[in-house]
Amino acid sequence: MTAIQKAYSRFGRMMYKDEIYRVPGITYADICDRLHVDQKALDEIIFEEMGMKGSEILYSFQKLLNL
């Protein structure tokens, strides 16, 4: 597993298990900083796997919960 694939996996855990989207003011850039990964690189794999950018996924979770 490559470093970017590991970051993608950790991003999933942060969203689903850790519910990082609930952190007030959290941004996709903040999440990438915590993962120590380039936003564009992570976006490429997220888009390839899910058809959305990471920021869109984060916003979708927040919007669903009215955060």
Number of domains within the chain: 1
Range of the domain at 59: 3-64
Cα–Cα distance for residue pair 65/50, rounded to 1 Å? 20
User: Which backbone phi and psi does 66 adopt, to 5 degrees?
Assistant: 55, 45
Local confidence pLDDT in tens for the 67 residues of the chain: 899 999 999 999 999 999 999 999 999 999 999 999 999 999 999 999 999 999 999 999 999 887 6
Please give the pLDDT value at position 38.
96
Task: Record the pTM.
Answer: 0.89
